[in-house]
Amino acid sequence: MQNESLKKKEESQILVFRVARVELGCDISYVREVLKPQEIYHLPQTPDFIEGVIHLRGQIVALMDLGKRLHLHSEEEDGNKRIIICRVHRFTVGLMVNSLSQIIAISQEEVKPIPELVSMQMEAEVISGLARVGRRIIPILDLEQIVTKKEVTELSAWQ
Q: What is the mean pLDDT of residues 131-153?
A: 82
> 21 lies in a domain?
yes
pLDDT band at 76 (very low <50, low <70, confident <90, very high): low
CATH label of the domain that carries residue 87: 2.40.50.180
pLDDT band at 13 (very low <50, low <70, confident <90, very high): very high
> 1 lies in a domain?
no
Considering the chain, what is the average pLDDT of its residues? 83
pLDDT of 72 > 80? The answer is yes
> 42 lies in a domain?
yes
For residue 99, give its domain range: 13-158
> 3 lies in a domain?
no
> 26 lies in a domain?
yes
Phi and psi torsions of 144, nearest 5°: -65, -25
Look at residue 63 in the predicted model and tell me its pLDDT: 93
> 39 lies in a domain?
yes
> 6 lies in a domain?
no
> 7 lies in a domain?
no
pLDDT of 1 > 70? The answer is no
- CA nearest to 23, candidates 150, 134, 155, 157: 134
- The total number of structural domains in the chain stands at 1
Residue 118: count other Cβ atoms within 10 Å of its Cβ. 11
Q: According to DSSP H, which parts of 91-138 are helical?
A: 116-121
